[in-house]
Amino acid sequence: MEEFEYGIIGGGPAGYTAGMMLAGNGHSVVLFEKDKLGGTCLNKGCIPTKSFLHSSDVYSEIKHAENFGIKIDNVELDFSKVVEKKNSTVEKIRKSLELAVKNSGARTVYAEACVKNKNVIEAGGEEYSVKHIILATGSKPREIKGLEFDGKFILSSDDILNLTQIPKSVLIVGSGAIGIEWARILSNFGTEVFLTEMAEHLIPLADIEVSKRIERIFKQKKLKFYLNDSVEKIENKKVTLKSGNVIEPEFILVAAGRVPICPNCDCEKILGDACGEIQLAHYAIHQAKQFALGIPFDKNLIPSVIYGEPEIAWVGLREQDMDENCKKSMLPITALGKSWCDDCTDGFIKVITKEDKIVGAHIVSKEASSLIHILLTAIQNKICINDLKKMTYAHPTYSEGIFEVLM
C-alpha cells in the first residue's frame, strides 16, 4: 500500500490548487479524479462557456460590422467549428494543467475514490494510505421539481454544452450567471430567448440598480423575461408559466445554480463547491491557498462577475445593504469617450462609500471583469478616496471612469 501525507479527492480548482501547493512545499500528495482534471470550471463551466461566448460575440459583431464602416456579405455560421474551437480550448488548458500538477510533484490517480476510513482511500482497485483526507468533490446542477433533466427537452448547464446546432428558441429558467450568460450566447447566435425568474428582479443577488439596468438592456435587445414567475406545467413541449404566459421553446435550460457533492465520510477538510459556501472557482482556489499555505483572504470581498452584454461585476456592499452613513456615486458609461468609440455605451460605474473609504463597487460595462479589481484593491487595502484621486488614469479608457466617479 502506497503512503502519502495528503489524499485529495477531486481535481477541480480547489483540489488541484491544494495538491500543487502542498506538493510544492515538500508534502507527499495523491490527487484522485474520476473524470478529467480541471473540475466543473474547466470542463463544464467557466472555460467552455466563455469559448462559446467569444464565438457568439465575433459572429454578432460581424453581422453588425456596417456600423463601423465595414461591409461583409453572406455571413454564415458553422456551429460545428464553434464546438471544435471550444473543445480544443478546453483540451489545451487541461493538458497544461496536467503538466503543472505533475511538475509540482503531486501524484494523480484517475479513478473514483472511496474513503475506507480516515487514513485509507480506495481507487481503481488499489488502496492508498494517507495521513490527511481532503474533500474537493465539487457540485452538480440543481434540479427543480417538475423540471427534472432528461437531456433532450429539459437541459442542465452540463447538457447544453453538448449542443450540436443552434436552437430557434429557448426558455431559460433562472437569471444568475448561467442564465444571463447563455441568454447572451444564444441571442447572439440568433435564438429567440425567453427567461423566467422567481424573484422580483433579474440577477437577484446583485445591487438593485444593476438588476434594473440589466432588465432595461434586456428590453432594448428584445429578450423576453418574466419576473415573479416560474414554470407551472409542460404539455407536449408547450410550457405554461404561473403568470399564464405560454411558450413553445425547442428546449428548456434550467439555470437554477448548483448543489454541493459532499460524501459523508471522515475527512480533515472540505474545499470548494463541496463545502456549500460561495460556488466560484476563484473562491475555491483561495480556500485551497489558505489551507495549504496559510494565506488568508476576506470572504466578504469575493468579486462576482457575470459575462452579460455588457459585463457585470460587483464586490462589497450593495445599495440594499447601505446604512445612513453610506453614500453612493454613479457615472454613466456614456460619459467615457472610449465607450462611444467601441459602440458600448450601456451601463454605469457605481461606488458606495463610508467615511472616505470605498465599501462597495458595482459595474455594468465592457471590461467590467477587469475594472472591478481596481476597486477591490482599494476596498481591501482601505485606501482613502483622496489618495485614489491622485492616481493617473490613461485616456481614453474605461478605467478612467473610476477616477471620474470618485470626483
Asked whether the beta carbons of 40 and 273 are under 8 A apart, the reply is: yes
Render pLDDT for 190-217 as a digit per residue (tens, 0 to 9): 999 999 999 999 999 999 999 999 999 9
**pLDDT surpassing 90 at residue 265:** no
Report the candidate in 312, 50, 272, 247 with the shortest Cα–Cα distance to residue 161. Answer: 50
pLDDT of amino acid 345: 95
Distance, CA of 51 to chain centre: 13
Residue 246: the pLDDT is 96
Given the candidates 3.10.105.10, 3.50.50.60, 3.40.50.300, 3.20.20.70, the CATH classification of the domain at 2-140+258-293 is 3.50.50.60
Name the CATH architecture for the domain at 310-406.
2-Layer Sandwich (3.30)
Q: List the helix and strand counts (H, then E) for the chain.
A: 11, 22
pLDDT of residue 67: 86
For the whole model, what pTM was predicted?
A: 0.94
Report the Cα 171 to chain-centroid distance in Å.
Answer: 20
Region 218-238 average pLDDT: 95
Sequence spans of domains, the chain = 2-140+258-293, 143-254, 310-406
Residue 168 CB: number of other CB atoms within 10 A? 10
Q: How far apart are alpha carbons 280 and 378 in whole angstroms?
A: 22
CATH for 143-254, options being 2.60.40.3470, 3.50.50.60, 3.90.870.30, 3.30.565.60: 3.50.50.60
Measure the CA angle with vertex 178, ends 175 and 182; round to 5°: 95
Give the chain's mean pLDDT.
Answer: 95
pLDDT tops 90 at residue 266? no
- Rounded-to-integer distance, Cα 265 and Cα 244, Å: 46
Q: Can you tell me the mean pLDDT for 42-48? A: 95
Q: Do domains 2-140+258-293 and 143-254 have the same CATH topology?
A: yes
Please say whether the beta carbons of 227 and 202 come within 8 A: yes
The string of pLDDT tens digits covering residues 309-339 is: 999 999 999 999 999 999 999 999 999 999 9
Intra-chain end-to-end CA distance of the chain, in Å: 65
Give the integer Cα–Cα distance in Å for 163 and 368.
28
